[in-house]
A and B are shown apart, each in its own frame.
Chain A
């Protein structure tokens, strides 16, 4: 920021102040945080089980495609009580299918999940574009038919921002993931598989099954993030919708130390950086605030171990 001659303090202050005082900015922060929290939870779940889900990007696209296609296919008069669960289920199922494929290949064939994820990201992006061009996009645009009104998640009414009811989904997901992870034998099983797969196997846990199920669950969470974009905001399939959220989800999961509540906090932090960063465009170029996200993630990543080592010295 010094390069463009604006004091960093002033920019940070402006970002904070505009978020606090302007409901639109506040809402945009929440909107971004919703998607990031769900993707972060997904990556965290996989990491807990010792798997690196770098495929959230592809699972997100699959979720967006499934959710918007079903939403557009529903008759216009479908009541919300039917349409919303159906579309959420479609998004989650599509994400889960991709996740289960990755997990299943890892479990049965030993195929490294990082390679299969990256390959599937590329494949799904291409296939989605193809399906879009062939079937969905209207009149040379990169946007498909609008989904049925009943399938829309209502906006939270924060100054016309995109924040919507899927924020509730994200909060519930955080709570459920916390409960599963800390309080149930399932959570114990998947963390045992992550930490000591051989020990887990010897106490009768099927490592292969856990890996497949965890990746399916991870994909389902990503699919719900897709619902945030489709049902809460754009109401249609758009080329590149939500792109980048899956990769940022990795940072969110790791910054939150894979703990669901930590993930929530990290999601708000990164959501703040990307949404509020756009709102200080009058002070600094928006490219700078894009860059800032990387800088902050780096700084937080380095700060953790540093604080830990200090704590050891003083103890």
Chain B
């Protein structure tokens, strides 16, 4: 295993080494070599890791990398080598990150909430209300920052309602999630009607446009992707929320209320998802009905795929973002793949990864949904 990985990685490294010839004009298609080299190094490194660490999960990473790249490489390079010029560009990476921001934030929020033992199907509602509130406050104050804060606040409010119903009233958590999603869909349209007299679009709000590094939500997402996994391992908040999810009776035994730990987790989760919602509306400078378009459901699927680990969940979402950016690239350069089917790539990949890797690795938190 290790040897195999080493060979692949070395082949990739050789590709990269050959790039030095580019300066003397021996390698004509620089991008293709760079791209192929990087991918081979990545796959090889993952296979090596699987061999060294004896951890089969790394094979999943390798399979995902291969699955993400090979079909596209085969299909597209044959006809359109110029496409690769777009793929290795900085603009491509930025585009991928931009698409990933709301998904990753929602997935981080979902992972936090679910690890504490609360089923979080309400992510869609948090995104949608977050997007609406961010656009409304952005429009009112003409400030992006206040808009983002508004989105976060809306996410917290939705999470609070969800937790009151789930923890206090002991309603079925799945129904609460689905009901809140319904409520968000109708509620945001109703508020549009009430506040602006029309039910599909809000008036303009300040927008980030295409800025990624100048976008406060991007930095929130990056910070959260680093801090949340650490906090979950190292802080009292994190230990308690994991205990609430896996062994609530242990928390009771040491005199801590599992419900309180779940509340502390769920509100943070709501804030994260709300920030993701703010990105959805403020990136285009306005809210339109149902603009989250199922991303909350995709995010929860990614949480499960990542085995309820927040950092991995965010990373998987970046992968979805990359596939989305690739899709845009395909549209721009013109592609043989029909425009209705190209956006489905990340979902097909997710299925492929699941089928190849199997889903037997990680178990859900012990008390998930059983409060």
Chain A residues within 8 Å of B, Cβ to Cβ: 3-4, 52, 54, 105-106, 109-112, 114-116, 118-123, 126-127, 129-130, 133-134, 247-248, 250-251, 254-255, 285, 287-295, 297-298, 301-302, 304-306, 309
A297 close to B182 (CB less than 8 A): yes
CB proximity to A under 8 Å, residues B168-186: 169-172, 174-176, 178-186
**26 pairs, CB–CB < 8 Å, chain A vs chain B:** A105-B351, A105-B354, A109-B359, A110-B359, A111-B354, A112-B359, A114-B300, A119-B348, A123-B344, A126-B341, A127-B341, A127-B344, A130-B340, A248-B178, A250-B178, A254-B178, A285-B199, A287-B192, A287-B193, A293-B186, A294-B179, A294-B187, A298-B176, A301-B172, A302-B171, A305-B169
Q: A251-B182, A285-B193 are in contact. List 15 more A-B contacts (CB 8 A).
A: A3-B194, A109-B354, A111-B351, A112-B359, A115-B359, A119-B350, A127-B341, A130-B340, A133-B340, A248-B182, A250-B175, A297-B179, A298-B171, A301-B171, A301-B175
Q: What is the distance, in angstroms, from B354's C-beta to the closest C-beta of chain A?
A: 4
Q: Chain A interface secondary structure, helix, strand, loop or mixed?
A: helix
Residue of B nearest to A308 (CB): B170
Contact (Cβ within 8 A) A287 B190: yes
Judge if B86 is at the interface, Cβ distance under 8 Å.
Answer: no
Chain B contacts for A4, CB-based, 8 A: 194
What mask results when residues 350 to 370 of chain B are scored 1 for a CB within 8 Å of chain A, else 0?
Answer: 110011001110000000000
Interface of B is mostly: helix
> From residue A301, how far is it (CB to closest CB) to chain B in Å?
4
**Could you tell me if B194 and A134 are in contact, using CB atoms closer than 8 angstroms?**
no
Are A302's CB and B169's CB within 8 A?
yes
Cβ-based interface call for B239 (8 A): no
A255 contacts across to B, CB distance below 8 A: 175
B-to-A contact residues, CB < 8 Å: 165, 169-172, 174-176, 178-187, 189-190, 192-194, 199, 294, 297-298, 300-301, 304-305, 338, 340-341, 343-344, 347-348, 350-351, 354-355, 358-360
**Which A residues are CB-close (under 8 A) to B190?**
285, 287-288, 290-291
Count contacts between A and B, CB distance < 8 Å: 154
Contacts of A134 in B (CB 8 A): 338
